[in-house]
Amino acid sequence: MRYFYLYFFPFSLAFADLNRFVDSFDFDPVQSEVKVLTKSSAYISSNPYNRSSNQGFNKNLVLNLDRETLEKSLGESISHRYQASGKVVAFLTRAWTPLKVSSNFILKISDSSPDQLSPSVFTRFSIWDNGKLIGNFAEPLRLGHYVDVLFSKSPVQRGARLSNVELSKRPVDILKQYAGAVPAGSNINGYQFANNIKANSPIKWNLLSKVTLVKRGQIVDVFASGNGIYVTMKGMALENGVAGGDVTVKNLSSKKEFQAKVLNENSVKVHL
């Protein structure tokens, strides 16, 4: 027992000395905010406010979720839902009562009918604020999908190849009168105009046709490959063929017929 007191006595002195420093601090209970993050299969709109631009951004700033702000959030969310290129804009078709929300609000789309980008859709969505459901809504919308499409700079005659025609590009709504227009950046090699068009006209797919590269009776180079074998030969096309299309070819030596894919004006390819 005497040894116990000997060991305990220095420890008691150290602890008592430590209390002199600890007593000088005031430890009031602090409540910390805990946020629970959950995954959802719903599509969530991007917040239109840039939080990273201001270090002193107030996350509890009260916003007025008016018609304009809601339409912007809906357009961004629908664009994300369908992974659309260009810009999607949404317009409410009936009155909207503004809501008071914080800058942390999010919009989740649960359903949209038809389930594709269309001029008119009926969309169901919910609005959340700091993890709290503000409400569920269902609204008919008008949509616009703006992308850069090709336009003619001058009159074009039937049969002219697109790659040889000077074209321009403009942003238009392809869900309306410009439906079927050719987006800028499309691969237009191998296409020609099937009709005459005027200057400043949108280029649409139904005004185009593929160029006939290989003609019936033409002698073509045949490239055959597969299983480590590579062979070249001469063949005769038995029908017209367009770029990337299949054509029937007859081997000039064996007289056998086979299907080949058109590469260019003089060549076809076949896989052994």
Q: What amino acid occupies position 106?
A: I
Residue 190 is predicted with a pLDDT of 83
Contacts of 160-169 with CB under 8 Å at 24 or more apart are: 160/192, 160/193, 161/191, 161/192, 161/211, 162/188, 162/189, 162/191, 162/192, 162/193, 162/203, 162/208, 163/188, 163/189, 165/193, 167/203
d(CA 182, CA 92): 28
d(CA 121, CA 90): 10
Nearest CA to 76 among 104, 48, 111? 48
How does DSSP assign 37-59, residue by residue? ----SSEEPPPSS-STT-TT--T
Tens-place pLDDT, residues 169-182: 999 999 988 989 99
Residue 189 is predicted with a pLDDT of 82
Residue 198 is predicted with a pLDDT of 93
Residue 58 is predicted with a pLDDT of 55
- Residues whose CB falls within 8 Å of the CB of residue 118, separated by 6 or more in sequence, listed in order: 143, 175
The pair of three-digit structure tokens given for residue 88, joined into one six-digit string: 């999607």
The pair of three-digit structure tokens given for residue 179, joined into one six-digit string: 């439906």
Residue 9 is predicted with a pLDDT of 42
d(CA 267, CA 242): 12
Nearest CA to 88 among 159, 141, 150? 141
Residue 3 is predicted with a pLDDT of 44
pLDDT tens series, the chain, 272 aa: 444 444 444 444 444 443 443 344 344 444 444 343 333 444 555 454 444 444 444 556 888 899 999 999 999 999 999 999 899 999 999 999 999 999 889 999 999 999 999 999 999 999 999 999 999 999 999 999 999 999 999 999 999 988 878 899 999 999 988 989 999 988 888 899 999 999 999 999 999 998 888 999 999 999 988 888 888 889 999 999 988 889 999 988 888 999 999 988 889 998 87
First-to-last alpha carbon distance for the chain, in angstroms, is 96
Residue 271 is predicted with a pLDDT of 82
Q: Are 243 and 163 in contact (CB under 8 A)?
A: no
The three state secondary structure string of 171-221 is EEECCCCCCCECECCCCCCCEEECCCECCCCECEHHHEEECEEECCCCEEE
Helices (H) and strands (E) in the chain, counts: 2, 17
**Ramachandran class of 163: left when φ > 0, alpha when ψ lies in -120 to 50, beta otherwise:** alpha
Residue 59 is predicted with a pLDDT of 56
What's 80's DSSP letter? Answer: H
Residue 42 is predicted with a pLDDT of 47
Residue 32 is predicted with a pLDDT of 40
Q: Which domains does the chain have, with CATH numbers?
A: 43-47+61-145 (no CATH), 146-210 (3.90.1210.10), 212-271 (2.30.30.760)
d(CA 202, CA 200): 7
The dihedral sign for the CA sequence 133, 134, 140, 142: negative
Nearest CA to 269 among 239, 240, 231, 238? 231
The residues pairing with 88 across neighbouring beta strands, listed in sequence order, are 145
